[in-house]
Structure 1
């Protein structure tokens, strides 16, 4: 018997995932400025036009690559969910676009930037909460997003030596138990 042909929606989701995985690797390795749509397409083994069709532009591709929002339909275990969240560390600790850094700098002092950040983080919390069990899933999702935001701010804006002088793997190793506690089975 031949291989089962995947439904179109599933093929699209897999292709989008390959593009995002490639983008995360390239943004982390080369930084935002040196990562191109063509390079992402080549790494994902797709046509550059498909990357543009799915994401529109490089800024949106970057935004999607750094979001901490797994697909709730994937039915991930707590371990898999945490690994997806930690997988964004490479990008969050790499070279960020100036627009992202400007928004982060401004979100505490300018109402428009605060509203924009709150909306973006709210969407991440909504999606993450769908993958976390329990009545307090939104709170636990918000805490997870806040931790990741704090790591990004500490590394990118405050340039904390303790975050800048260690590898992403070391940060992930230390964060993993906390994130597992937040995203795993509800504890009462």
Structure 2
């Protein structure tokens, strides 16, 4: 018996994957300006019309490439949420740094690309905030996003000593307590013994 026929859904998924891989490569190599839909289609060995059909525009395709999407929605108890967010950070600094770098570079010079990337990032932030029980969930997820983006910028654009060459697993391990604390711990109002607004000191009865 020969191989089972490939369904239309599988064909479409394979084509989309090839387009995303091609776009990721070309955006990282040539930047936003010099990357074209025709060039992406040629690299993916498909038709430019299919690129537009599946992704809508160059800006939207760029946003899909630049934002490393999690393979599954973030959900569960706080510890699990923190670990999923750490896994997303790990993906940005290991398997797919090119997309993150293309995003950072282009967001400062191409407003149309920046708007799409920002909206994609905000969509992910809102999804995470929706599963956190804290009243300030938006703030907490925003801080996680700042830590993630800052780590990518410092590692790959600024190339800060230590961080530039650190193994990704060590970076993640050092940030793990901070992610868990932001996700589900009560914030400290000040250092031990600091005066509060009414003149009392924390830690005193």
- TM-score, normalised by the number of residues in structure 1: 0.59
Shift of 1:114: 2.1
Distance 1:163 1:123 in 2: 28
User: Whose helix proportion is higher, 1 or 2?
Assistant: 1
- 1:56 corresponds to: 16
Aligned to 1:23: none
- Corresponding residue for 1:108? 108
- Using the alignment, how far apart are the partners of 2:11 and 2:130 within structure 1? 27
CA distance in 2, matches of 1:178, 1:149: 15
Matches within 5 A, 1:55-74: 56-58=16-18, 59=20, 63=65, 66-67=68-69, 71-72=73-74, 74=75
Alignment correspondent of 1:117: 117
Report the Cα offset of residue 156 of structure 1. Answer: 2.2
Relative distance call for 1:85 and 1:70 in structure 2 (3 A) is farther
Instruction: Decide whether the 8 Å contact of 2:144 with 2:179 is kept in 1.
Output: yes
State the SS of the aligned residue for 1:141: helix
Q: Tell me if structure 1 keeps the 8 A contact 2:66–2:102.
A: no
Once residues 99 and 92 of structure 1 are traced to their aligned partners in structure 2, the CA distance between those partners, rounded to angstroms, is: 8
CA RMSD, 1 decimal: 3.5
Unaligned runs of 5+ in 2: 1-6, 25-63, 190-205
Question: Which has the higher Rg, Structure 1 or Structure 2?
Answer: 2
Are positions 1:180 and 2:180 aligned together?
yes
- Greater RCO structure (CA 8 Å; 6+ sep): 1
Deviation at 1:99, TM superposition (A): 5.7
Following superposition, the deviation at residue 178 of structure 1 comes to 1.0
Alignment coverage as a number of residue pairs? 140
TM-score when scaled to structure 2?
Answer: 0.55
The farther-off stretch of 108-117 and 52-61 is: 52-61
Q: Deviations over 1:87-139 (max 9, x none)?
A: 12332113647565333202123322321221111111111101211111011
Cα distance 1:55–1:157, how it changes in 2: closer, same or farther (>3 A)?
farther
CA contact (8 A) 2:67 2:103 kept: no
Specify every segment of 5 or more residues in structure 1 that has no aligned partner in the other structure, as ranges. 1-46
Alignment partner, residue 37 of structure 1: none
* Post-superposition offset of 1:53: 3.1
> For the Cα contact (< 8 Å) 1:78–1:180, is it kept in 2?
yes
* Residues 126 and 183 of structure 1, relative CA distance in 2, 3 Å threshold: same
